[in-house]
Structure 1
């Protein structure tokens, strides 16, 4: 469940597990941001699928449009705001529950904290691996450039104090470690 997502997302592995041929996908021309921070994702397409919540005695069903993405995920699908609006879902992230009106009673969909933690951890590891793999060529290119020596003092013209300062020691065992403090600071 992702109340911040404006999309319902289905991973390609889930589509394959459902034995739905990829020829059923409709083309999507635009990418969407936010799957991994700072990066865009390009869906393979979109598909309308029937979805049902509840059990035989109390259920709601409808058709949701999912964007199908071609990368690994620790989930089968992500239900976003379009799902919540269609089914009038109220998410409670604290208790990992979705509640929606049913024909006979409130329908509850829930998970366990251990399952949610496992999924979140897997998702974090996958996202980190993807980001690292996309940043690797950039880091290699960066390593060939001259790296400045940040331990070398910079020119005094880069930053000039607006008032007179004095050096104050910050480490009694090493007199070379000092910080500049303004001499005109109020006592308070």
Structure 2
């Protein structure tokens, strides 16, 4: 099965390789991506809670947390929410990983067979197609 990869706008930057992982309990943004977005490190709050499962067999400790606005866009429809991201200082294949906190905040429903993500928008249902 292919991963559901989307291209939301986080902060003011459209990220093209963001994986939706409904089994993850956090939203993860890589430090390299954070730097490339041109965001200030002053906004990062301390976070001492380690997490597991991103690096096989190892525990990872985030550099901190940051709250950023994130938007999914449909054709004439959009949905924006403020999400908390853990900042991770290791390399990954994606720009970010969005877990169940994102699904819950956006009230999003994935369909991994068709690589689609659906959520309510202000005018109608927003359907986001996954990127291969």
> How far apart are residue 57 of structure 1 and its match?
2.4
Paired position in structure 2 for 1:35? 54
How far, CA to CA, are the matches of 2:75 and 2:129 in structure 1? 17
User: Deviation string for 1:77-111 (max 9, x for gaps)?
Assistant: 11110010011000111122111011111111122
Query: Where do 1:166-177 residues align within 5 Å?
Result: none
Change in CA separation of 1:95 and 1:55 when aligned onto 2, cut-off 3 Å: closer
Structure with the largest fraction of helix: 1
- RMSD value, Cα: 1.3
Alignment length (residue pairs):
113
Name stretches of at least 5 consecutive residues in structure 2 with no aligned partner: 1-19
Query: Where do 1:37-52 residues align within 5 Å?
Result: 37-52=56-71
Paired position in structure 2 for 1:74? 93
How far, CA to CA, are the matches of 1:53 and 1:3 in structure 2? 17
Rg larger in structure: 1
Paired position in structure 2 for 1:90? 109
Change in CA separation of 1:8 and 1:31 when aligned onto 2, cut-off 3 Å: same
Determine if contact 2:52/2:59 at 8 Å carries over to the other structure.
yes
TM-score, scaled relative to structure 2: 0.80
Q: Give the counterpart of 1:59 among 78, 92, 103.
A: 78
How far, CA to CA, are the matches of 2:75 and 2:45 in structure 1? 32
Determine if contact 2:117/2:130 at 8 Å carries over to the other structure.
no
Structure with the largest fraction of strand: 2
Query: Where do 1:151-166 residues align within 5 Å?
Result: none
